[in-house]
Amino acid sequence: MNVTIVDYQSGNISSVINSFTEVAKGKVNLEVTSDIKKIKSSDKIVLPGQGSFKSCVESLKSINGLVDTLKEFAITNKKPLLGICVGLQMFADIGYEEAETKGLGWISGKVSKIDNQKGKFKLPHIGWNEIEIKKESKIFKDIKNKSHMYFVHSYEFIPEDKSVISATTNYSSIIVCSVERDNLFGTQFHPEKSDKIGLKIIDNFLKL
């Protein structure tokens, strides 16, 4: 099996590479690239994302043909794609970080700043928080409800269709932290930084 981690200069993806390499060892052929041909021929795609919504969307668009290739892969052909952090957020129609920016529009909704109740809650939301599993998800196989995952973000994805939500977390309000529709997966938290339980999620994705 060929799995591609999309490298589109979206900030630091070393940890994503390290964790996937650890889990993939000897089982999966892992590529880190933005090469359109390689992406097209892979079986699964990982779309990481760090920094702002705006900068990630701009980086993605700056690579000729990448957005269309990803859309064809994940939406038209319904092949497995996992978005992590801003990688998930970009599924939305629109984001408001830095400036109003159009997203990929794969899952209707918006990405706005977490309401921290006038400073009552510190932002970014950094650290380990429990996830509340909302529906059976292929990537949560053998993951216990209320497991701890590592988060670092100030913005949240608010999808219109609530049926896509596979897990939430509580930080000043209920925040969507995982979505799933067909073979499209996204986590707001960082499985690559979430210790053994995070590696298990990666393993579940690789085993799909």
Partner 1 sequence: MLKNRIIPCLDVKNGRVVKGINFVELKDAGDPVEQAKIYSDGGADEICFLDITASNENRETIIDIVRKTAKECFVPLTVGGGVRTIQNITDLLLAGADKVSINTAAVNNINFLNEASKKFGSQCIVVAIDAKKVSDNKWEVFTHGGRNKTGIDAVEFAKKVEEYGAGEILLTSMDKDGTKSGYDVDLLKTITNNTNIPVIASGGVGTLDHLYDGIVKGGASAVLAASIFHYGEYKIKDAKEYLNSKNVSVRL
- Residues in contact with partner 1, counted by CB under 8 A, come to a total of 37
Active-site residue 153, yes or no? Answer: no
Contact, 86 vs 53, CB < 8 A?
yes
> How buried is residue 31: exposed, middle or buried, by Cβ count under 10 Å (0-12/13-18/19+)?
middle
12 vs 77, which CB is nearer to partner 1?
Answer: 12
**Catalytic pick among 85, 125, 153, 156:** 85
End-to-end CA distance of the chain: 11
Positions in 59-98 near partner 1 (CB under 8 A): none
- The minimum distance between CB 158 and partner 1, in angstroms, equals 19
Among 52, 178, 187, 188, contact with partner 1 (rule: CB under 8 A): 52
| Piece of the chain touching partner 1 by CB under 8 A; list 70-78, 128-136, 137-145, 177-185 | 128-136
Angle, alpha carbons 85-86-91 (nearest 5°): 105
Active-site residue 85, yes or no? Answer: yes
The strand pair at 29-33 and 2-6 is best described as: parallel
Active-site residue 31, yes or no? Answer: no
Which residues are CB-contacts of 100 (< 8 A; sequence separation ≥ 6)?
A: 94
- The minimum distance between CB 145 and partner 1, in angstroms, equals 14
* Catalytic residue IDs: 85, 190, 192
